[in-house]
Structure formats: C-alpha cells, structure tokens
Chain A
Amino acid sequence: MTAPRDFKYVGTRPIRHDGVDKVTGRASYGADAAWPGMLHGFVLRSPHAHARIVSIDTGAAEAVPGVHAVITGKDLPETTATIALGEAAIDLRDIGDNVLAKTKTLYHGHAVAAVAATTIDIAREAAAAIEVVYDVLEPVTGIDRALGAGAPILHPALVTKGAAGPDAGGPTNIASRMELKRGDVDAGFAEADLVVEREFRTPMVHQGYIEPHACIARCGEDGRAVVWCTTQGPFVVRDACAAIVGLDPANVKVVPSEIGGGFGGKIVVYLEPLALALARKARRPVKIVMGRDDVFRATGPTSGSKVRVKLGAKRDGTIVAASASLWYEAGAYAGSPVGAGAMCMLAAYKVPNFFIEAYDVVVNKPKVAAYRAPGSPIAAFAVESVVDEIARELKIDPIELRLMNANAEGDRAPYGPKYGPIGLAQILEAARAHPHWRAPLGANQGRGFAVGFWFNAGMNSSATVTLNSDGSAAVVTGNPDIGGTRAAQAMMAAEELGIPVERVRSNVGDTDGSGFTDVTGGSRVCYATGMAVIRAAEDAREQLRARAATIWNVSKDAVGWENGRAIPPAGTEKASPMTVAELTAKMTQTGGPIVGRASLYAPMAGPAFGAHICDLEVDPETGRSRIVRYTAFQDVGKAVHPSYVEGQMQGGVAQGIGWALNEEYIYSADGVMENAGFLDYRMPVASDLPMIETVIVEVANPLHPYGVRGVGEVPIVPPLAAVANAMRDATGIRFTELPLSPPRVLEAIEAAAAVPVEA
C-alpha cells in the first residue's frame, strides 16, 4: 500500500503552464508552422470504396507550372517493418498501403497520389489533372456483407489469425478470431433462473478532434529529415515515416506541435510520410493540411459493430453465466479493437462461467484507429443494456444488482490477471448515495445507469529534470500535451523537489531532445510518464543531497531532505539547512550542472471503473431527446490536478452522449461517405448538454507513488448504455441499435404503440 502522504501541490489547481499561450492564440499547432521555401501538398483520393488501380498517369500534373513533385504508391517502398507500441507491434506494411494505395483502393477517400506545388491552388489543380484508371469492384459496406455468401474479398491473401472458428479456411474478410472463456457456460446457463439475450449494433464513429491532421517536412540531400506535425506519438511518427519513405530512423527528427485533440486518432501516420516523400523529391519543405472532409473519410474512426450478448442470472440477481459474440469492423485493414472489447465487457462482474468470441472484420471503410478506450464502449453498450434488462426483470435496483456482482481486489479479471485494489464498489456506493439517484423525474423523462471499465496503459516513458542555478527546474518528456499534462508533470516535479510549481517549466521534447517515450494515449501520461518525472526529480534531489554533503563535508547518507531543503546531520558545525536555490547557486563549484533523469517501462497500470447516471427527456411525437442531467463517478486513484480530471470525465461523457444520440458514419450503397463534415456528422454542441457533474473517487493505485490511475478513457465507456437505459426508462423500449436519432426513436415508439402491450 502507498503510505498516505501530505501533498503540497498534488491535488491543487494551478493555472496550466501552457495556458496563456493557448488563450492568446500564441500556441503553435500542426497547421501553424511555415518554413522558408515551403511548398504546399495536396492529396488525391479515391472516389471509389473498392477498386483496382489499373494505371496512374501523372504526366499532365507534373507539367503544371509551379508543380515540384508528384508521388504515387510506386514511389514508396513496400515495407515489412514493424514498430513497437508498448508490447504490441504495428505492422507498417498496412500503414504504408493506407498512406498511399499501391494496387487497390479500399475505401472512399483512400490516398492514391500526392502533389507538391508553390501554392495550394496549383497543387489542387495539378492533382485534378492526374489520370487514374480504376477497375471498380463491389464494396463491402458492413459486417453482414463482409461475412455473407459470395462477399467480395478485400485482401485475397488474408488468413484468419487466432483461435480458428467454424468459418475459417478459404478467402475471408475475417482478419482474426479470439476466444475468452472460463468455467462451464452451458452448466452456468442451466443454473440460471433468467436468461436475457439481445443483439446490438453501433455505427462507425469518429474521434472528432477539432484540429485536422497537418504537418510540414523537409529532407536534405544527406537524407536527414525533420517532420513537424500534430501527433500523439512523435516516436511512432519517426519510425513509421522512416520505414514507409525508406529513410534511416536515425536521420529523422520529429517535432511535435501543440495538438488540437486526438483521442487516439493521432497516433498513426497519414500525411507525414507523404510530405516527407514529396519534400525528398522536391528538395523543398512541404506542408500538408487535411481538409475536414478528408479527416472523416480517410483517417481512423472506430469500428461499427454487431454484438450478441446473453446473460444468465439467479432470481436473487447473481449472474451465473455469460456468452457473447462480437464482430467489429476493422475498416480496410486488420486491426479493430474487438479483442479489447471482449476483455473489457465483463470486467465489472464476477461471472463464473463465460464464453466470448471476437471477430475482426475488414470492410471497405477507413482503417480504424484508436478511439478513447478502444473497443470498450461498444461492448459496454451491449452488456450494460442486458444487465439493465435483468435488473428490470428481477425488480432489483440497477446499482444494487451491480454491487451484488461486482469484482473486488483479489478477484480474477475476465481477461486474466487478479485485480489489485479497484474502486468499483466505492463508485457504485457513491452513485447510490448521490441525490441524483433519487431525484424525481418529469414527464417523458427516464433515468439510466451504467458502468464502464478500461485497463489503462503503462509502457515506456522517459523524463529529465534540469535544475537551473536560480533553483528553478525544467522538465522535459516526450509526450505531447493534449489536455494539461505539462501542468501535472510540473506539479509532480515541484512536489518532489519542494519548489513552487510556478518555478517548474514543463516542456514537450522532440524525438532528439527527449528520451524514448511511448504515445500520449492509453491514459498513461500522468501515470507512467508522471512516474518518470517523479523519479527524475528524485534523481535530481539525490544529486542535491550529494552536493550538500560536499559543501558540509559529510557523507551523502547523512544528509536529510525536508520541505525542499537539505538538512545537515545533527552536530555539523556552521551548517544550516540549504534550499534548492542555495544548492543550485553553488552547482558549478560542487560538481557542475544537475540533470535528473529517469526512464522506465511500466508493464501494468491501475485499471479503473466509472459509473454514470443519465436523465433523458424524449419528445414522444418527434422522437427527439435531450439529456437533462448527468453525473459521472470515477475511481481516479489520485487526482493530481482535479480540474483536468473533471474535464476528462466531462469530455468523455460528452463524446459518449454524441455516440449514443446522433453520431454515425453514413454510407451510400456504393460505399461513399455521405456526411463527411461537421454539419451532418452531428457532434454535441454547447446547447445540447447540461452541466456534467463529476464525483471523483480516489482508491490509490499501488503501482504509482502517488496512487495515480489513468483517467481519460474510462468516462467514454458508460454513456452509450447509460443513455440507452435512460431511453428504455423513458419510453419502455429497449433500443439495441445506435444512434438513438429522432427517426429511429419515433419509429420504435410508433411500432410499440401499434402493438398491444402484453400484461
């Protein structure tokens, strides 16, 4: 157990260190850079969802005055390299093909060529002059078509990986299949007094970050290259660019700009290798900024899905068996988060017998990317809806039912390991005790409850803490600050050094200026990189103690440390405690500069649960609904900067509400995306939402010195089911397909009204 500790800075709410730059417009984001001699790049994209590229003629484009370079898939080598992402590996062959199609286009918007010219107008005009001959193929527009008889095959060589299912063998669109099981599921269901089974569907949805992808790259005659871009993972960009373009990674430096949102969608590369390849060909810097339509069509949303869930419970509410089948759309290349969905779906519950099978299915849609707790919201929508049905059938309070079945410390998680301390019971109890749970509802209103889980990640992190002679400090890590992590890191360094948080400069380094660090993702920055910052600050502090020992001519072990001061051993003549500033003032005389450093690999993180209460009101004549009250409870381990913890919770809720109510990718029958813009991809606006109340619960994570758990991803997991359960409460109808858009809701209300209600 972590010893309780009195924090001076952790748990307070200082103004973030990058705040003034961001409220004054000074902060520089992906599209804000301009380099001397810069060209502008434009990407030509496939109008077809599925086609063979017969030929590409770039002659006319190259002849346009002002055009300096044109590239097609032939200009990029086929790579078999992989890059590590924690313990996983990203196969760059698919990424390379996704960046610029080589032989087939696999979705509407798939890049087929790119142009660099002196102005964006010229680049666009030249791209229009590129002649691409396509052999148009029938598209696979969804899971049912992908699995159906005679389905077109995206990748003729694709073989289903993993636990072979009944449909293995022959050409397939199933990229992988996995199973997860425990106990005897048939015996479990035989024991059940109540069995509820439902099938759920969710559409493809996008992260919806407001900043489009953007980058600028240059490449010298010696092969040394610099890429400036908006990314969650500068080291991923470095390694991916090098492999895809064919450069030595040692020669590629990636400088992360400020990042205007990512939510997982800015980990893989899209534009960067193109800008780099064009820059290499043109020997001029090339800037490419994606349009919003291309962000929707051609970056990585998350999967559309079909999930079948069956739960069995005893009359007293004990869940005794579960079975589930999950099919997630991977988009054009293998790699949906279906495995994570399968592992998360029962994480909250003690289920002695279960069988889960999970299919990764390729379809002619953009290759999916990570989106905030990838895979878990979809699975939670299904399971939490069925748990809600069980609570209704058995007339048990939904929170009570979950408490009854809740996993606790020492229980084995459905995905393998035993849980350490987790705050599931605590958040459930906090929700049950909250006034929201008992507040009266108005006409046409309903209340829904759901829980959600995410593993959180650890992975690789590095940090340095450099002390200045005036006693101030500079922290450098390699994680782009997507929502306040500079502040959190400064707070941790200040806590360890005992200097004011305002005297810590907190920086995001580039790939040459910071030690290797995995992506800003997996809710890992405050946890793992934070731990590196703490250790680097400890390292600096130890060096300060050594310097004090030198000054006092005592052994280092004899020097104490309290409240940011070195304490001389009792009885040392003429020695009095020295502050950080007093010690750093003498750095040159006592051994030179002090740089604390730490790098670590955190194999595990503190998993976390959230519980949400949602009140919704529906207009029964139009099917239109609005969220009238929302409260989110979450075990965050330890809130370093509570304002930004609350902000993560509120933001996750808002995204989840959007997913539940209105967001969806709409495709025509021939696979063309019809709503590639903010007008018709309907993310929540300010007037759509109420204030979102947050309740922070702190059950310390023993893996982190302060008890921190990842925070950012959990809050998007419960809302889909919380909203659907509220809709069930308001209308009496169980919706199994998202979004709960007005036409869908009204249709169901009218259908229910047409059928006499059974007693």
Chain B
Amino acid sequence: MVAIRYETPRSVSEAVRLMAADPGARVLAGGTDLLVQFRTGVRQPSAFVDIKRIPELMSIAIDAHGLRLGAATPAAVIGEHAELRRLWPGLAESVRLIGSTQIQGRGSVGGNLCNASPAADTTCALIVNRAECVIAGPNGERTVPVEAFSIAPGRTVLQPGELLVAIRVPRPAARTSDAYLRLIPRTEMDIAVAGAAASVTLDAAGLCTTARVAIGAVAPTALRVPAAEQALVGSRLDEASLKRAADAASAAARPIDDKRGTTAYRRTVAGVLTRRAAAIAAARAREQGSHP
C-alpha cells in the first residue's frame, strides 16, 4: 500500500513548496469534492496538503477596492458575512447553494473553482462580478479572471506547484447588483442542471449601462454570454429585453445529454434562468437607487 501523507502548511510559501515538491499532492480545502473522489477511487493523491491552517486562506476582507476572499474559507462563514451579502447578494446566494448545511461547513469557493465542474454554483456569479483568481506558485503570484480559470471539466489553469489562494472581486459601482439562479429537481442537495447569473448597472434614469451574464452546466465550462449582455445594455430591463437576453443565453448554451438533464431542457432552462436572474438583479439595483 502506498502511504498517503497529511501536511498542514502554515503559510502560502510552505504550501507552494509542498505542492511543488510532490506532483501527486492534492490541496485539501473543505474536502467535499476531493475526499469523495478519493473515496470512490477517482483520485489517489500521494499527500493531502491541508491549507486551512493558513490564516490568509481562511479570511474575508472587504475594503474600498472590493473583496478578497481566502480560497479555503468555508461557505457557511461567507454566508454569515453581512457586508458581503449586502454588496454581492447574488454571489452570496451562489455560495449558499453549494450542498447542504453540513457541506457549507466545509466547502469553499476556492474548492468549488478548483474542482472545475461546469455546474459549479459560484462560477457564474463570480464571472458576472468580474472576479479574479489569485494564484501562488513557485514563480510568485499571478491573477487569472474566473472565466479563464477552468479550461475543461475537472481541469484548470493551475500549473504544478500552483495553488489558488484567494478570489478578488471589485467593489460594485453604484446602482449595481447581481443574482444567481440554478435549476435542480429537488429544493436542495442536487447538482445544477443549469444555472445563470447576471449583474446589471443602472444609471440614475434606470437605464442599464452595463450588464454581465454567465450560464453554467450548459457547456464544458461556465460561459459568459456577450449577446445576452448586449440585449440588456441600453434597455430598461423590461420584459422584451429580458426575453432577448434569455434567447441569447439559450442560443449560446452548448449542453450535453446526461443523467441530470437533456440538451433541449438545459438550453431552454438556461434562458429562463437568465431572464429571471437578470430581473432579480435589476430589481435589486433599482432598490439601491431608491435607497442610496
């Protein structure tokens, strides 16, 4: 039997050293994906590098520039952060949707991104909020936009020895808000069959000046949908423009048939969720406008 090591680095540099020294090592954050994969024989790491004893990976900081979210911070901790929920309600919703209360106690946004499932709940919400991944490695730190982080199901841009340490999200402009919705057959505990996030910025007159739309579980990676964004920008986010955005999202979807849903179903629902998420984001942005 191959012995598996358990390591608890106390700093990012120590973690990077451990990861660089052993290509078979895997980062252990919440373990809600990794330990299941280990248990079912999908992954057989030579070492678990538990990064949860590194303080900066377990922290939430919000300042004038925005949010810096430690990659291993458990979802439940994020959900309890009132300021984060106020500034990015859609992002907070997407985090809250990861698994059960128990999973929330372990699972992290960093883990959600590194698992690189096209159905990951946080990815779309991060993309529409212009989030970046802060990556540490043997050659120092680099940043990658979230939409470029995953390159295929289960694969990311992380190179050997590299580690996702934080997610940075710029502070939203005035009259900006977001929303994330997913479709699951039950009310909880399922993987998204389709998901959609939207972030919109309104001007003082209520016209949409900027919009970002992303859809999940309908392609090998989460997709930004520029055509849907264009359908929203310049509009009052009325039914007609929302419908155009929905159609654009459905058109952009490139889903597969699998045990969780059919191609046709995912395509349709990606549109429905895009319309609904954009409407919620718009309502939230208007609410901000009325209560500055």
Q: Do chains A and B touch in the complex (CB under 8 A)?
A: yes
Residues of chain A whose beta carbon lies under 8 Å from any beta carbon of chain B: 121-122, 125, 293, 621-624, 626, 661-662, 666, 674-675, 678-680, 682, 684-685, 687-688, 741-743, 746-747, 750
In contact, A293 and B269 (Cβ under 8 angstroms):
no
- Residue B1 at the chain A interface, CB threshold 8 Å: yes
- Residue B55 at the chain A interface, CB threshold 8 Å: no
How long is the Cα–Cα vector from A210 to B284 in the complex, in angstroms? 42
How long is the Cα–Cα vector from A661 to B185 in the complex, in angstroms? 9
Closest residue of chain A to B265, judged by CB?
A743
Can you list 21 pairs linking A and B with CB atoms under 8 Å apart?
Answer: A122-B1, A622-B269, A626-B187, A666-B259, A679-B189, A680-B190, A680-B259, A682-B189, A685-B186, A685-B187, A685-B189, A687-B188, A688-B186, A741-B185, A742-B183, A742-B193, A742-B261, A743-B262, A746-B269, A747-B262, A747-B264
Q: Mark B253-292, 1 if CB is under 8 A from A, else 0.
A: 0000001111011001100100000000000000000000
Q: How far is the CB of A658 from chain B (nearest CB, A)?
A: 9
Ranked nearest first, the 10 interchain pairs of A and B with the lowest CB-CB distance are A743-B265, A687-B187, A666-B259, A621-B272, A674-B259, A662-B185, A688-B187, A743-B262, A687-B188, A685-B188
How long is the Cα–Cα vector from A472 to B265 in the complex, in angstroms? 64
- Residue B102 at the chain A interface, CB threshold 8 Å: no
Most buried by A among B183, B185, B193: B185
Closest residue of chain A to B190, judged by CB?
A682
How long is the Cα–Cα vector from A624 to B265 in the complex, in angstroms? 11
Q: How far is the CB of B25 from chain A (nearest CB, A)?
A: 20
Residues of A within 8 A of B116 (CB): none
Given contacts A621-B272, A680-B259, contact A747 B265 (CB under 8 A): yes
In contact, A742 and B265 (Cβ under 8 angstroms):
yes
- Residue B139 at the chain A interface, CB threshold 8 Å: no
Residues of chain B whose beta carbon lies under 8 Å from any beta carbon of chain A: 1, 40, 183, 185-191, 193, 259-262, 264-265, 268-269, 272
| CB contact between A746 and one of B1, B189, B268 (< 8 Å): that residue | B268
Residues of A within 8 A of B191 (CB): 679-680
Closest residue of chain A to B264, judged by CB?
A747
Counting residue pairs across A and B whose Cβ atoms lie within 8 Å, the total is 59
List 13 other contacts, CB 8 Å, given A685-B186, A743-B193, A747-B265.
Answer: A121-B1, A626-B187, A661-B185, A678-B189, A679-B189, A680-B191, A682-B186, A688-B186, A688-B187, A742-B183, A742-B193, A746-B265, A746-B269
Residues of A within 8 A of B193 (CB): 742-743
In contact, A675 and B189 (Cβ under 8 angstroms):
no
How long is the Cα–Cα vector from A682 to B191 in the complex, in angstroms? 11
Closest residue of chain B to A661, judged by CB?
B185
Closest residue of chain B to A673, judged by CB?
B259
Residues of B within 8 A of A624 (CB): 183, 185
Residues of B within 8 A of A747 (CB): 262, 264-265
Q: How far is the CB of B212 from chain A (nearest CB, A)?
A: 23
In contact, B185 and A742 (Cβ under 8 angstroms):
yes
In contact, B185 and A125 (Cβ under 8 angstroms):
no
How long is the Cα–Cα vector from A624 to B259 in the complex, in angstroms? 16
How long is the Cα–Cα vector from A293 to B186 in the complex, in angstroms? 20
Residues of B within 8 A of A622 (CB): 183, 269, 272
Closest residue of chain A to B99, judged by CB?
A679
Closest residue of chain A to B258, judged by CB?
A674
Residues of B within 8 A of A293 (CB): 40
How long is the Cα–Cα vector from A662 to B190 in the complex, in angstroms? 11
Residues of A within 8 A of B268 (CB): 746, 750
In contact, A679 and B265 (Cβ under 8 angstroms):
no
How long is the Cα–Cα vector from A63 to B260 in the complex, in angstroms? 43
Given contacts A293-B40, A746-B265, contact A662 B183 (CB under 8 A): no
Given contacts A621-B272, A688-B186, contact A125 B259 (CB under 8 A): no
How long is the Cα–Cα vector from A623 to B268 in the complex, in angstroms? 11
How long is the Cα–Cα vector from A678 to B189 in the complex, in angstroms? 9
Closest residue of chain A to B100, judged by CB?
A685
Q: How far is the CB of A150 from chain B (nearest CB, A)?
A: 27
Residues of A within 8 A of B1 (CB): 121-122, 125
Residues of B within 8 A of A750 (CB): 268
Residues of A within 8 A of B183 (CB): 622, 624, 742
Q: How far is the CB of B38 from chain A (nearest CB, A)?
A: 12
How long is the Cα–Cα vector from A121 to B41 in the complex, in angstroms? 12
Closest residue of chain B to A64, judged by CB?
B1
In contact, A662 and B259 (Cβ under 8 angstroms):
no
Q: How far is the CB of A527 from chain B (nearest CB, A)?
A: 35
Closest residue of chain B to A739, judged by CB?
B185
Residues of B within 8 A of A687 (CB): 186-188
In contact, B265 and A662 (Cβ under 8 angstroms):
no
How long is the Cα–Cα vector from A667 to B156 in the complex, in angstroms? 30
How long is the Cα–Cα vector from A271 to B195 in the complex, in angstroms? 42
How long is the Cα–Cα vector from A675 to B183 in the complex, in angstroms? 18
Q: How far is the CB of A119 from chain B (nearest CB, A)?
A: 9
Q: How far is the CB of A335 from chain B (nearest CB, A)?
A: 28
Most buried by B among A122, A622, A661, A680: A622
In contact, B260 and A680 (Cβ under 8 angstroms):
yes
Residues of B within 8 A of A684 (CB): 186
Residues of A within 8 A of B186 (CB): 662, 682, 684-685, 687-688
Closest residue of chain A to B191, judged by CB?
A679
How long is the Cα–Cα vector from A293 to B36 in the complex, in angstroms? 12
Residues of B within 8 A of A682 (CB): 185-186, 189-190
Closest residue of chain B to A66, judged by CB?
B1
Residues of B within 8 A of A746 (CB): 265, 268-269
Q: How far is the CB of B201 from chain A (nearest CB, A)?
A: 27
How long is the Cα–Cα vector from A679 to B187 in the complex, in angstroms? 13
How long is the Cα–Cα vector from A459 to B187 in the complex, in angstroms? 42
Closest residue of chain B to A658, judged by CB?
B186
Closest residue of chain B to A293, judged by CB?
B40
Closest residue of chain A to B269, judged by CB?
A622
Q: How far is the CB of B239 from chain A (nearest CB, A)?
A: 13
Q: How far is the CB of B243 from chain A (nearest CB, A)?
A: 12
How long is the Cα–Cα vector from A6 to B186 in the complex, in angstroms? 46
How long is the Cα–Cα vector from A624 to B262 in the complex, in angstroms? 14
Residues of B within 8 A of A623 (CB): 265
Residues of B within 8 A of A121 (CB): 1
Q: How far is the CB of B218 from chain A (nearest CB, A)?
A: 13
Residues of A within 8 A of B185 (CB): 624, 661-662, 682, 741-742
How long is the Cα–Cα vector from A209 to B289 in the complex, in angstroms? 52
Closest residue of chain B to A666, judged by CB?
B259
How long is the Cα–Cα vector from A201 to B51 in the complex, in angstroms? 50
Residues of B within 8 A of A626 (CB): 187
